Amino acid sequence: MATIKDVAERAGVAPITASRVINSSGYVSDETRRRVEAAIKELGYVPNRIARSLRSKQTYTLALVLTDITNPFWTTVARGVEDVASEAGFSVILCNTDESEGKEHDYVRVLLQKQADGFLLVPAHSASRSVALIQAQQVPLVVLDRTVPRAVDTVRSDSEGGAYQLTRHLLVQGHRSIAMLSGPREVSTAMDRVAGYRRALDEAGVDGDLRMVIYGAFTQAGGYAMTKQILALDPRPTALFAANNFIAVGAFRALREAEMCVPGDVALVAFDDLPPTFLMDPFLTVAAQRAYEMGQTATQLLLGRLSGADSSIPREVVLPTDLVVRRSSHRQSTKNRSDINDLS
């Protein structure tokens, strides 16, 4: 593997001169430049950015630590991150924590060691130690999707507002007994969504008796288990509110097993859209998050910090959610009506 020294030798110049050609920095005569470029081509020289990073203390690498790339919401966020990052010349290292604090911490440690220039982190836990660790090393950080009790840049959706809208929608449809299939208590978005749900019910003067909040995992299995619990109740709620897309799918499956129809027997709404591309027949009423925008915005914010934007005041960007009404929340089955948002 050729080094800059080899290039310099072959071109009959000093290494620093070759460096100047490679980085188009400083003055180099056309003649010299030509010779260096020829040497580079002849040797198939590839600059070693590791060495450069050691000197310059910039790796042009961002760390993206999220819970599970398999969830299309995160996939879309990741794509937003990667697009903005690569546009700015940064690479992205991707890690899946599966909501495990241990994994999260291990990843963060390694990525700090690898000198990532900045972090985009979805904390597995409100009390995540990772945030403190990153801040202690003075590495720029943007927290994604969730809040933590610390002064830190954050980009997230308006979970409270979205949940409020979704619950309002159900109330307007005439539902009074609405069960919430929530995520874990330790995750801020779960609690925010519960808060929005409660606010809507409070406003509507719905009895405490008719409120049900169950806490579980943000997974299909979680949604399935919570729904099973709900179905054992008597009287049963007339509507279910799933706190994310996976929970909704699990709930749907449990309902199907119980031979209950949506929306005939029970209405179902959810936070997070399922990607329209992958639903031949979009069906679920949702509060859709702007996932791609979240990734973009967070990365722009992070890159801003890297280029020295004053970070003394942490910024918090809250993106709105979009209520998309589809068939799953309609009293009367409207099997053949065209959907509000098309497959396009």
Considering only the stretches 29-37, 81-89, 118-126, 146-154, report the one whose residues sit in contact with a copy of itself under the rule CB under 8 A: 81-89
Rounded to whole angstroms, how far apart are CA atoms 151 and 55?
31
- How does DSSP classify residue 338? P
Query: Which of DNA, a copy of itself, none interacts with 3 (beta carbon under 5 to 8 A by kind)?
Result: DNA
Give residues with Cβ within 8 angstroms of 198, minimum separation 6.
211
Give residues with Cβ within 8 angstroms of 60, minimum separation 6.
49, 53, 89, 90, 91, 117
Backbone angles phi, psi at 309, to 5 degrees: -60, 140
Site string for a copy of itself, 21-50 (x = CB under 8 A): -----------------------x-xxxxx
Are 123 and 104 in contact by the 8 Å Cβ rule? The answer is yes
Site string for a copy of itself, 117-146 (x = CB under 8 A): -------------------xxx--------
Compute CA 301 distance to the chain's CA centroid, rounded to the nearest angstrom.
15
Which of 194, 170, 200, 166 lies closest to 182 in space, CA to CA? 194
Q: Does 110 bind a copy of itself (CB under 8 A)?
A: yes
Are 254 and 262 in contact by the 8 Å Cβ rule? The answer is no
> Which residue in 17, 61, 130, 285 binds DNA (CB under 7 A)?
17
Considering only the stretches 152-160, 173-181, 207-215, 241-249, report the one whose residues sit in contact with a copy of itself under the rule CB under 8 A: 241-249
Query: Which of DNA, a copy of itself, none interacts with 304 (beta carbon under 5 to 8 A by kind)?
Result: none
Query: Which of DNA, a copy of itself, none interacts with 20 (beta carbon under 5 to 8 A by kind)?
Result: DNA
Query: Which of a copy of itself, DNA, none interacts with 232 (beta carbon under 5 to 8 A by kind)?
Result: none
Cα–Cα distance list, 179 to 3, 167, 191, 269, 314 (Å):
65, 10, 15, 11, 36
> Which residue in 9, 52, 79, 176 binds DNA (CB under 7 A)?
52
Residues that contact a copy of itself, how many (by CB under 8 A)? 58
Site string for DNA, 56-95 (x = CB under 7 A): xx--------------------------------------
Residue corresponding to tokens 């809507």: 200
Find the helix or strand (DSSP H, E) in which 270 lies: strand 267-271
Length of the chain: 344
Q: Does 109 bind a copy of itself (CB under 8 A)?
A: yes
Rounded to whole angstroms, how far apart are CA atoms 4 and 18?
7
Q: Does 172 bind a copy of itself (CB under 8 A)?
A: no
Q: How far is the CB of 134 from a copy of itself (least distance, A)?
A: 11
Torsion 238-325-143-117 (CA) sign: positive
By CB under 7 A, name the binding residues for DNA. 1, 3-5, 12-17, 19-20, 22-23, 25-29, 31-33, 47-48, 51-52, 54-57
Question: Which residues form the interface with a copy of itself (CB under 8 A)?
Answer: 1, 44, 46-51, 53-54, 59, 61, 68-70, 72, 75-76, 78-79, 82-83, 86, 91-96, 107, 109-115, 136-138, 220, 245-246, 249, 252-253, 256, 274-275, 277-281, 283-284, 343-344
